[in-house]
Structure 1
Amino acid sequence: MDIEKLFEGAECEKALLRIAQGDRDALKIIHQYMNRQIYAVAYSVLRDFSLADDIVQETYVKILEKAFSYRKGTNARAWVLSVARNLAIDLFRHRRFEGTEETFADQAMRFDESAVVSSMEVKQALDRLDDEERQIITLKIYAGLRHKEIASLLGMTEEAAKKKYQRAAAKLRELL
């Protein structure tokens, strides 16, 4: 097991317990260790940079509100990422219902032109994956989650997460 991940998990658990007791400053620890992963989870669901940023902020608010519901001794990182994923899914469903969606061209205008070209190719390839494949790739590569954490987050076995990741990665390589 990765010692760094164990340390992060222990620090996140301590922070969640402190937040549950009213220590709002402990949220900085969650931010320090998990901001990139929270963003990756949100982006994997929404496929929108700006909306993913919004979900990251909402996740921190929800953590402050719901830290009391975290059960000591369970996976703190998975709990935080589940909060982010649930918020992203809720927003995705709401926006799909409304039918409003920012175009990729609108997003691309906010980035360096050379970065957009390569990120656009990756985004197009990711868009050709099905939702589950895209989420697994994003969670593994961009959020740096282990197969076990992905399995827990997506409600599947660790073996299924490994196999689905391998298939999705092979499919993505073909598309690129």
Structure 2
Amino acid sequence: MASAAAGGRQAPRFRIVSNGAEQTHDTDLVRRVAAGDRLALRRIHDRFQRPLIAYLLRFVRDHAVAEELAAEVMIGIWRQAARYEGRSSLETWVFGIAHNKAVSWLRKRREEGMPEGAAEALVDERADPEAEAEAAGMTGMMSRLIGRLSAEQQAALQLTYYQDMPLEQVADAMGCPVNTVKTRIYYARQHLKRMLADEGIRALAA
């Protein structure tokens, strides 16, 4: 997958690092949300809003839809806070809710027939217009091809490579064993290689 990213700039990774003290603080924060503390929910919103939108955007490829889903994640946090026991990190729990929202959205769109030509992933600004156009084309292609994968394979790739989560956290967020995450990533990469070869991109498919 690292080689596939070489054709275009990766979107910024938003890594949220936590330690034992933060874990305790996060558990207290969610307990406050469960008790109806809207300020505590605002703190979670401010902390996770940008990484959530970046994560969801890679599924939906439409910024407005990503913002709507991120808002639904916050509603989910508000409603589910009482069930949070601190067994996983706050990051894992939040992205687990986001994962479910993204997968539900993808499945619904596929049932309805997802149109081609959805808004492509955002590309970093570049000084060279030709280089920018080339990178945008490759980024758009990768976004389109990843969109053909199953919802579970997409989520495994997004959480592992773009959110930079350890496999154990990805497994917690997706609600499956680590080996299942590894299997989904493996088949996702194989499918991407075949699709890249079909597109004539031999260097990335090698």
Match of 2:152 among 132, 150, 154: 132
Residue 73, structure 1, aligned to residue 93, structure 2: no
Identity of matched residues, %: 26
Q: Which has the higher helix share?
A: 1
**Equivalent residues of 2:103, 2:151 under 8 A apart:** no
- TM alignment of 1:34-45, pairs within 5 A: 34-39=48-53, 41-43=55-57, 45=59
5+ unaligned residues in a row in structure 2: which ranges? 1-14, 126-131, 197-203
User: Where in structure 2 are the equivalents of 1:27-176 lying within 5 Å?
Assistant: 27-39=41-53, 41-43=55-57, 45-70=59-84, 72-75=85-88, 76-97=90-111, 99=112, 101=114, 103-105=116-118, 107-108=119-120, 114=133, 116-166=136-186, 168-169=188-189, 172=192, 175=196, 176=204
C-alpha distance in structure 1 between counterparts of 2:193 and 2:114, whole Å: 28
Distance 2:170 2:185 in 1: 10
Name the Cα RMSD after superposition: 3.6
Q: CA deviation at 1:147?
A: 0.4
Letter in 2 for 1:31: H
**Aligned length, in residue pairs:** 172
2:27 maps to: 13
Once the two structures are superposed, residues 70-104 of structure 1 have per-residue CA deviations (whole angstroms, 9 ceiling, x without a partner) of 2x33213332222222233333444444x264653
The answer on 1:23 being equivalent to 2:43 is no
- After superposition, what is the alpha-carbon deviation per residue over 1:115-150, rounded to whole angstroms, capped at 9, x for unaligned? 642420221331344433222111112222210111
Q: In structure 2, what is the Cα distance between the partners aligned to 1:153 and 1:42? A: 14
- Write out the 4+ residue segments of structure 1 that deviate beyond 6 Å after TM superposition: 110-113
* Equivalent residue letter for 1:133: Q
- Structure number with greater CO (CA < 8 Å, separation at least 6) is 2
Greater CA deviation, 17-26 or 156-165? Answer: 156-165
Offset of 1:153 from its aligned partner?
2.5
Q: TM-score, normalised by structure 1?
A: 0.71
User: Partners in 2 of 1:128 and 1:95 — Cα distance?
Assistant: 12
